[in-house]
Amino acid sequence: MVKWQAKDFGPDSVVLDADKLSRPVTAEELGNQLVRINRLCTILSHVLDAADIAVTDRERLWSEIEGFQDQNFEAYKSLLASESPEGGRTSPPK
């Protein structure tokens, strides 16, 4: 298991391995982290739906969450392309 060292998850993220050496994140690690983020966002969407806050505030929050997800998925796709030997397509994690 690696420890993440970044303010956000993107192609510039680094991880600390067990030997405490910092290295760039791999596409697989970033993809797995995005799966976790998406699960948390799903939970958050249910909380926002149940919360007693104004609809406009809820929509604004959800727009920011979706933007965060989109930004990180684009970073993941870019990292996949840079790691692919042929620059070809690789399927995202499930």
Q: Quote the pLDDT of residue 9.
A: 54
To the question of pTM greater than 0.85 for the whole model, the response is no
The owner of tokens 């993941």 is 76
Which pLDDT tens digit goes with each residue over 52-81?
777 778 788 888 888 877 877 787 788 778
Which pLDDT tens digit goes with each residue over 6-53?
445 555 666 666 666 777 777 787 788 778 888 888 888 788 777 777
